[in-house]
Structure 1
């Protein structure tokens, strides 16, 4: 219950901050978002371009855990993961508040879950992230700080990035347990390294252990594969 209340309060707090305390909306924000989305990047700080695109990678990182975690939840995890592509941590915080501890995967993996569970997915996301970070480091930090201080979109997007870095560790323990993996040192590594910690985890984690329930008359039997 404490965990649920904590995540619920964090969600309310970040919503209040984003709408009430963050810098005001600036003219041209919609045009900026449109240009970032369609690849018209001329004149845009590479740091902003990189951050915007990394915010598209984060939901894929979370999906690789949330879709599997959701198999044992009463709430539709896929809905929160899908909405996170648009609003990031603002969609994932309610899921973290409502989910129950789930250290076992019941059933079989479909094609989507196999893709999300694959180490290849982790490698692809890692390569994309390295390219984006390298591109972003060519940007103007002074200009970015100025935009962060005055532009609500840039400010909230940066806050969202930081939240996604911090919140991933809340899902790691159960995901490791589902895989029969109890390397606490790796857990600490993942929790401490922004962005690349979770990516390393996706690249090295073993496949999830499937638990198939077979019901026999007057007897219920569980088989782990």
Structure 2
């Protein structure tokens, strides 16, 4: 199938849909085999803070996967103001399934370079630098804890033999790569142009998007 280069939006939507489909197929059919009982107990213990005996790298990654949806919320809720699809639904789902929910939103959303009206309290909270700084501090603590206390040999073994750890790791990478897809419109909604270095910085996994959230300008009101 040939897609005209004169329709970049449609081309990007097809590409994102293919990425989503590939990720789904890989996660469910090609990733290491799942061990439901072990996975359920691991997720339960990670969720309730019963971390004794769990590799700190896995603890760190699991909690970072809770920070990623918050990072996307800081962009998606403002972007969703001009969308026909309910952005909040995808944002909430991303806390459970990560990129499996973010990718469909990116496929179905339309370009939205303006913010209409005045940001309400909910939008201002997600748009604030305070929120971004809190997320940055949390990410630094988690990464430092995982790197300094974790067992890399065990993590590699888990990555090779546990579907949950394997897919969660790939989910982290995919969320890192996808963030710039929302960057252009988010910058435009603020009435300015970001320097080239900032675009490049956002390609740094986790900390790049967090730095962008910390330094970006406020939304422009268009009442």
**Does residue 85 of structure 2 align to residue 68 of structure 1?**
no
**Which residue among 4, 12, 20 is the counterpart of 1:3?**
12
Equivalent positions of 1:154-173 (< 5 A) are: 154-173=165-184
Number of residue pairs the alignment of both structures matches:
212
Residues 1:22 and 2:40 aligned together:
no
1:146 aligns with 157
> 1:110: which partner in 2?
120
Give me the whole-angstrom Cα distance separating, in 1, the residues matched to 2:108 and 2:198.
Answer: 23
Name structure 1 gaps, 5 residues minimum: 213-225
Shift of 1:111: 1.5
Task: For residue 107 of structure 1, report the CA deviation from its aligned partner.
Answer: 1.6
> How do residues 1-225 of structure 1 correspond to structure 2 at under 5 angstroms?
1-26=10-35, 27-137=37-147, 138-212=149-223
C-alpha distance in 1 between matches for 2:55 and 2:131: 28
Bigger Rg over Cα: 1
Contact residue 172 and residue 187 of structure 1 kept, 8 A: no
| Residue number in structure 2 paired with 1:215 | none
TM-score by length of 1: 0.92
**Could you tell me whether the CA contact under 8 Å between 1:50 and 1:132 is conserved in 2?**
yes
The alignment partner of 1:44 has SS state of coil
Instruction: Name whichever structure is richer in strand by fraction.
Output: 1
Equivalent residue number for residue 6 of structure 2? none
Are the counterparts in 1 of residues 46 and 62 from structure 2 also a CA contact under 8 Å? yes
SS at match of 1:66: helix
Question: 4+ residue runs of structure 1 moved beyond 2 angstroms?
Answer: 186-192
In the alignment, the residues of structure 2 paired with residue 14 and residue 181 of structure 1 have an alpha-carbon distance, to the nearest angstrom, of 34
Question: How far has the Cα of 1:210 moved from its partner?
Answer: 1.5
Instruction: Look up the SS of the partner of 1:79 in the other structure.
Output: helix
Uncovered stretches (5+) of structure 2, i.e. residues with no partner: 1-9
